[in-house]
Amino acid sequence: MNNCFKIGRIVLILNGRNAGKKVIIIENKSQSIDVSSSSITVLGIKNSPKNFNRIQTNKVSKKKSNIKVFFKTLNKTHVLPTRYFVDLSTVQQELISNVSMKLFELKFKEKTSTSHSDELKWQINNIFVDKYFSGKNKWFFKKLDF
């Protein structure tokens, strides 16, 4: 069961506030620690981009294609793995892992430094916007209907 939770796999969150959201596995705790752990760190899309027409202005198209991300540590029993993977380069993977570590450190230390955490999240947003406009992994950016 542990081998299906590889880094870069797309999984669905089954319960909680983000139920039904698609997320990417960033870190598998059981791979990094010798003791079997049942938690994973994920990166997901809070707001999926909306469809827009060519007639609309650039301001409206930018607003509709806006993507917001979230980081979360989840139990493996609360996610459903899919067969899909996201193609991330090694540079992007290193950036995401560094940003996630910094965000979790900021979360547990102080909550006053929101401007620094917003800057870190924008770096990840830019990666997702590039992926969205490149046309790859379209399934990841569509809203899940159920």
pLDDT at 144: 74
pLDDT at 116: 66
pLDDT at 79: 92
Q: pTM for this one?
A: 0.73
pLDDT at 81: 92
Q: How far is it, in rounded angstroms, from Cα 84 to Cα 137?
A: 9
Annotate 9-30 with b (16+ C-beta within 10 A) or e (fewer): bbbbbeeeebeebbbbbbbbbb
Give the residues of the chain that fall short of pLDDT 50.
34-35
pLDDT at 13: 92
Residue 22's nearest CA partner among 83, 103, 64, 100 is 83
Q: What is the DSSP letter of 81?
A: E
Give pLDDT tens digits for 82-110.
Answer: 988 887 777 777 777 777 777 766 666 76
pLDDT at 35: 46
pLDDT at 11: 92
pLDDT at 45: 84
pLDDT at 18: 87
pLDDT at 146: 65
